[in-house]
Structure 1
Amino acid sequence: MINDIRVHGVCPVVETPFTATGEIDVASFERLIDRLLDAGIRTVMYPGFASEYYKLTDEERDLLTGVLVQRMHRVDGTVVVISVPDHATRVAVARARRAVELGADMVNILPPHQHGPSSTAVQTHVHDVLEAIAPVPAIVQYAPAQTGTALTAAIIAQMAVDSPNLVQVKVESTPPGQLISALRKEAPELSAVVGYAGVQLIDALRRGAVGVQPGSSFTEIYLEIWSLWEQGDRDTAIDLHTRLLPYISYWMQSVELIIAAEKRISFLRGLTDTDVCRAPARALDDEELAMIDRFISGFSDLLV
């Protein structure tokens, strides 16, 4: 029987801190997790694009996954979503099973996308991963801008019919709204979590999204937007999102750009000891560094 664990509210994708020499920094990772918990975060995902998953060894992923699960589960009611972004189905199945062994409450499946696999191949891949971890609930991550994968609401809903432990979809299409609405009309109805740094968060909320997955360096802003929206103060929520939008719109022009920006913010806020990204990485120029300084100053009321 599938449990009722779901992503709800603000669910940051946790970044991977590195030392000055490029090694994983477990102490900073632990501190970052603690700060997320202190801010009120109860659901996290790791490792995603924002975690530089594609620059980590399997051993590093396992180590930090174990640290994350242990650290989060000290607090009752927390949910840890472990992502399986591996391209080869055999590897993804093994990594998904390993995630469950390490204590994942949910598994996020990024469909394979290297060299344009067919829709049938993508669906088979997702099915095999879902079957391997059943009855553990899972989320399918639909990120066509990053992957080129093309899925429809009907195809995703059929996946859920075939594998009932598929319970949610992380929608990162641009824009995400139509797919979020379409998923709610399918049978089974699938709830949606919006990604892409929440650039289209307000539209997603209007269409019934139940969660947002930003990065982990300024989650307090997203928590405030979410709280205001749930309290019915939608105008203030929209105003706050409008203040945020110029920054996240700029940073989301590329994955490596927003990773570098978020790491800089985490470092300046004392969440991590460095802002190191593993090479090859996106270097921030002087104007982009100044932009981050303006951002931190402009949101000083929330980024304590």
Structure 2
Amino acid sequence: MASKYPRRQFLGQLAALGAAVTTVPQYARAMESTLFAPAGEKSFVPVMITPFTSDLKIDYKGLSALTDLYLASGAKGLFANCLSSEMYYLSDEERLELVKHVVKHVNHKVSVVATGSFGNNLTAQAEFAKKMHQTGVDGVILITSHFASREESDDVMMTNIDKFLALTEGIPLGTYECPSPYKRILTPATFKHLIDSKRFIYHKDTTLDQAKIKVKLDLCRGTGLQFYDAHAPNGVFSLQNGAKGLSCIAGNLYPEIFSWLCENVNNPARSADVSWIQEEITRLDDVIGNGYSLNARYVLNKRGLNLQVVNRASKSPLTAEQIKISDDVYKTVLQWHERLGIKV
């Protein structure tokens, strides 16, 4: 059954050591790893959509094709079973099978993380996180609003997370300020608390406020926590101030653009293009929210995929106006590719 919440082993696991040798904690392995990209590089990590068949079963053939497109676009990691994946519309079994398929298909080409904090209480959440970890993901992601109600304090949230950590010893973790069931932004104090636990390797940020983002980036500098901004209009700012990469929904409509931006954001020879494409991405950010994620499937099909333009979250198909907007977005992106010299 799906969770009650409403909807929005690293690349190589530790080898078995001799019986007389103490196993190295997985977090230590995480601290040594580069997770999504070599040290010093920036990474585009798509928030994966879940393809469905016409009868709304998971389309695993389409999922494989979509995964290949992400990789071909330059993605250096994948975030499966997230809001774009319609995780709140999947059963526990589907969540696990979906992630297993992605991990197997990727076959260590890039790292994969996935949300795993589902359950009606801390014990159930911990048990599900263990199952998610066993799929082979490089990190299990926790939704910040899964650990306290909207009315409860940060102290309650952190107490619950600390209890969760004790129940999941050794599992590398990440955080995601998901808008659903409600958006809970990590304050500097709570963010530092998580960093100090030395269990967290990934953070997907939805703060939006650049001044507050800068505080978080300063806190995680030099630690094992990698910061990924979900807000496309903040892309250049976050990347130039220490973010490891971007994980934006727009990456499901124009993934090569985010890969290009991550690669060139600090390239003096492309600074004019970087400023220009940031303005363009910002201009379209509200536009692509109209009909997401059906419009992403529609645009991906124009690129050669064969996905059903359906999802479980939407009761209605794309309107004629939304289709026209999607066509215009696709034409615009082709123009972006031409100016930036991107070969698809």
TM-score (norm 1): 0.87
Indicate if the aligned counterparts of 1:260 and 1:282 stay in contact, CA closer than 8 A.
no
Equivalent residue letter for 2:286: S
Indicate if the aligned counterparts of 1:86 and 1:112 stay in contact, CA closer than 8 A.
no
Equivalent residue letter for 1:43: G
Quick check: 1:219 aligned with 2:252? no
Aligned equivalents of 1:242 and 1:270: distance in 2? 28
For residue 49 of structure 1, report the CA deviation from its aligned partner. Answer: 0.8
For residue 108 of structure 1, report the CA deviation from its aligned partner. Answer: 1.4
Corresponding residue number in structure 1 for 2:216: 183
For residue 87 of structure 1, report the CA deviation from its aligned partner. Answer: 5.6
CA RMSD of aligned residues (A): 2.5
Corresponding residue number in structure 2 for 1:136: 171
For residue 279 of structure 1, report the CA deviation from its aligned partner. Answer: 4.3
Equivalent residue letter for 1:239: W
Q: Identify which of 60, 80, 84 aligns with 2:112.
A: 80
Corresponding residue number in structure 1 for 2:66: 32
Equivalent residue letter for 1:269: R
Aligned equivalents of 1:298 and 1:267: distance in 2? 16
Corresponding residue number in structure 2 for 1:231: 267
Aligned equivalents of 2:246 and 2:330: distance in 1? 21
Question: CA separation of 1:184/1:247 partners in 2, compared to 1, >3 Å: closer, same or farther?
Answer: closer
**For structure 2, which runs of at least 5 residues remain unmatched after alignment?**
1-24, 37-41
Aligned equivalents of 1:95 and 1:213: distance in 2? 24
Corresponding residue number in structure 2 for 1:194: 229
Quick check: 1:286 aligned with 2:304? no
Indicate if the aligned counterparts of 1:11 and 1:44 stay in contact, CA closer than 8 A.
yes
Matched residues, percent identical?
Answer: 19
Aligned equivalents of 2:293 and 2:117: distance in 1? 17
Please state whether the residue corresponding to 2:144 is helix, strand or coil. coil
Question: CA separation of 1:104/1:9 partners in 2, compared to 1, >3 Å: closer, same or farther?
Answer: same
**For structure 1, which runs of at least 5 residues remain unmatched after alignment?**
none
More off after superposition, 220-229 vs 133-142: 133-142
Aligned equivalents of 1:271 and 1:124: distance in 2? 45
Q: Identify which of 100, 104, 123 aligns with 1:90.
A: 123
More off after superposition, 7-16 vs 182-191: 182-191
Aligned equivalents of 1:74 and 1:166: distance in 2? 21
Corresponding residue number in structure 1 for 2:198: 164
TM-score (norm 2): 0.77
Please state whether the residue corresponding to 1:149 is helix, strand or coil. coil
Please list, as runs of the form range in 1=range in 2, the aligned pairs for 1:261-272 lying within 5 A after superposition. 261-272=295-306
Aligned equivalents of 1:57 and 1:151: distance in 2? 28
For residue 115 of structure 1, report the CA deviation from its aligned partner. Answer: 4.7
Please state whether the residue corresponding to 2:201 is helix, strand or coil. strand
Question: CA separation of 1:303/1:137 partners in 2, compared to 1, >3 Å: closer, same or farther?
Answer: same
For residue 231 of structure 1, report the CA deviation from its aligned partner. Answer: 2.9
Indicate if the aligned counterparts of 2:115 and 2:143 stay in contact, CA closer than 8 A.
yes
Aligned equivalents of 1:266 and 1:57: distance in 2? 26
Indicate if the aligned counterparts of 2:254 and 2:333 stay in contact, CA closer than 8 A.
no
Question: CA separation of 1:53/1:139 partners in 2, compared to 1, >3 Å: closer, same or farther?
Answer: same
| 1:149-168 CA distance string (max 9 Å, x none) | 2431111111232x211133
Equivalent residue letter for 1:58: D
For residue 51 of structure 1, report the CA deviation from its aligned partner. Answer: 0.6
For residue 191 of structure 1, report the CA deviation from its aligned partner. Answer: 4.0
Indicate if the aligned counterparts of 2:145 and 2:177 stay in contact, CA closer than 8 A.
no
For residue 283 of structure 1, report the CA deviation from its aligned partner. Answer: 4.3
Q: Identify which of 108, 123, 134 aligns with 1:101.
A: 134
Equivalent residue letter for 1:250: V
Question: CA separation of 1:115/1:269 partners in 2, compared to 1, >3 Å: closer, same or farther?
Answer: same
For residue 104 of structure 1, report the CA deviation from its aligned partner. Answer: 0.8
Rg bigger for which structure?
A: 2
Quick check: 1:249 aligned with 2:286? yes
Quick check: 1:205 aligned with 2:242? no
Aligned equivalents of 2:240 and 2:213: distance in 1? 10
Aligned equivalents of 1:143 and 1:287: distance in 2? 28
For residue 252 of structure 1, report the CA deviation from its aligned partner. Answer: 3.8
For residue 294 of structure 1, report the CA deviation from its aligned partner. Answer: 1.0
Please state whether the residue corresponding to 1:60 is helix, strand or coil. helix
